[in-house]
Structure 1
Amino acid sequence: MKRDLSMIGLGLYTPVEAAALTHVEPPKIRRWLCGHVIGDKTYPALWKSQLEKFDMEQLHLSFLDLVQLRVAKAFIEAGLSPQKVRRAIEFGSEIVASDYPFASARFRTDGKTVVLHVLKTDGDEELIDLFSQGQYLMQKVIEPSLKNLEFDEAETAARWWPLGRGKGVVIDPQRQFGQPIDDATGVPTSVLAEAAKAEGSPALAAKRFMVPLASVHRAVAFEQQLAAA
């Protein structure tokens, strides 16, 4: 697909690429972002991708979609239904003044308010008791799903270090359309890993791309981890 230059800074991921990074299956990603129908009941999308305005033929996700996806997954695994997650996003958008409340640093402090508001509206006493424990919400849901994120001055997720900053692999929507890259060189990890395979060794790949050997080793290790997940 030809990439529109106006998408620069947003990130661009297919459902398959997003699935590899977030561990949410592609069909589920499509249901969450596009909605679906079961029998005579229609389930609306949990939220709409900010790339929808580009009128692409198939679903694509932005970097903020990727971040919000991780948090939505954590909430659903903790017991919230997708419908309740959708309402949490709607209410959270008002609280943190962002279309992507789950990708906001403010959600660390305001998340409990958002979740309990939704649960009390539904009267789900069991989950109310569970999520009223702020420590549970932080340790089990919010902190793990926001781990290794960097936020900008507007408190919005700006970069993601999937293995931790010290490992040198970053997902930055301002670089390479948000594909995982070796931070030191800016080369996508997939490119370096594929080069190592094609050339027969990391050393030859490093020579071909004129990058440090450590960059190729990082890329290969990261891509192997993605493939194994």
Structure 2
Amino acid sequence: MTADTSLIGTGLYSLPQASRLVGANPRSVRRWLLGYGRKYRGESRISQPLWRTQLADEDLPEPTIGFRDLLELRLVNAFVKHGVHVSVIRATADAARERFGGEYPLTMRRFLTDGKRIFAEAIDAAGGTHLIEPAGRQYVFSEIVTPSLYAGIDYEGDAARRWFPDKGKAVVLDPAIQFGAPILSGAGIPTDTLYAAYKAEDDDKNAVARIFDIDPRQVEAAIRFEERLAA
């Protein structure tokens, strides 16, 4: 995928790449971001995308999203894995968007503190009683919106600036560098480039370290990251 230099700082991710990075089902990602139409009991039903993506107006050869879309997608996937219905996620995001005034409310820093209340309001509006526990009537969502869900996100003000997907922060996704591709922190080398070199050098991490003049431990971090994505 080629990229216009005017898109520097936005981040560029194909839908298959985004699916791998956030650990989501590729088919679900397409439905969440592109919407879909289907026949149900002889009637046509259309589901709109959960939000308008950063690159929706760009003339690109394939569906592509930006960095902010990627992080929002990560949150949506986490909610779905916890059993939250997409209709409730949509209502919650709409309510948060109205309150906060941002296009990507789920990954805003403020959502971490106010998200539970917004979710409760959205559930009431959507009638999603299946998400309320019978005993104690505690919202399942209260178990999801925790600081750990936002771990690794580096903020500038209230907006996400970059994402360290691993605890050691050896790898970073920064939309201002390499169009947001996963790179080694500090070195700026894409992890997939290092992994390709590793396979070309017969799995010799020390040889790769010499080629790129980096520490073998950095090569190891790139290998772990890429193998986790492949898994």
Normalised by the length of structure 1, the TM-score is: 0.90
Contact 1:184–1:215 (Cα < 8 Å) also in 2 = no
Question: Which residue is 1:182 aligned to?
Answer: 184
Question: Which residue is 2:197 aligned to?
Answer: 195
More helix by share: 1
Question: Which residue is 1:216 aligned to?
Answer: 219
Residue 7 of structure 2 corresponds to residue 4 of structure 1: no
Question: Which residue is 2:63 aligned to?
Answer: 59
Structure 2 stretches lacking a partner, 5+ long: none
Distance 1:132 1:194, change over 3 A: farther
What does 1:8-19 correspond to in 2, within 5 Å? 8-19=8-19
Distance 1:61 1:132, change over 3 A: farther
Query: Which residue of the other structure, out of 144, 149, 154, is the alignment partner of 1:145?
Result: 149
Tell me, in whole angstroms, the C-alpha distance in 1 between the residues paired with 2:37 and 2:147: 33
Tell me, in whole angstroms, the C-alpha distance in 1 between the residues paired with 2:127 and 2:210: 62
Question: Which residue is 1:44 aligned to?
Answer: 48
Distance 1:23 1:213, change over 3 A: same
Kindly state the Cα deviation for residue 210 of structure 1 after the two structures are TM-superposed: 2.0
Q: Secondary structure at the match of 2:13?
A: coil
Residue 105 of structure 2 corresponds to residue 101 of structure 1: yes
- Give percent identity, aligned residues only: 34
Could you list the runs of 4 or more consecutive aligned residues of structure 1 that deviate by over 4 angstroms after TM superposition?
128-134
Q: Which amino acid aligns with 1:220?
A: I
RMSD of aligned C-alpha atoms? 2.0
Question: Which residue is 1:113 aligned to?
Answer: 117
Kindly state the Cα deviation for residue 138 of structure 1 after the two structures are TM-superposed: 4.7
Tell me, in whole angstroms, the C-alpha distance in 2 between the residues paired with 1:103 and 1:123: 24
Instruction: Report Cα offsets for 1:52-99 as digits up to 9, x if no partner.
Output: 121323211111111111111222233332122122222211112110
Kindly state the Cα deviation for residue 145 of structure 1 after the two structures are TM-superposed: 3.0
Is the deviation greater in 123-132 or in 191-200?
123-132
Kindly state the Cα deviation for residue 185 of structure 1 after the two structures are TM-superposed: 0.6
Tell me, in whole angstroms, the C-alpha distance in 1 between the residues paired with 2:61 and 2:146: 33
Query: Which residue of the other structure, out of 207, 219, 222, is the alignment partner of 1:204?
Result: 207
What does 1:125-144 correspond to in 2, within 5 Å? 125-128=129-132, 133=138, 137-144=141-148
Instruction: Report Cα offsets for 1:132-181 as digits up to 9, x if no partner.
Output: 747x635434434322211112x1111111111x3411111111111111
| Count of aligned pairs between the two proteins | 225
Q: Which amino acid aligns with 2:50?
A: L
Normalised by the length of structure 2, the TM-score is: 0.89
Structure 1 stretches lacking a partner, 5+ long: none
Q: Secondary structure at the match of 2:46?
A: strand
Q: Which amino acid aligns with 1:63?
A: F
Tell me, in whole angstroms, the C-alpha distance in 1 between the residues paired with 2:133 and 2:143: 16
Distance 1:205 1:221, change over 3 A: same
More strand by share: 2
Distance 1:180 1:32, change over 3 A: same
Is the deviation greater in 74-83 or in 219-228?
74-83
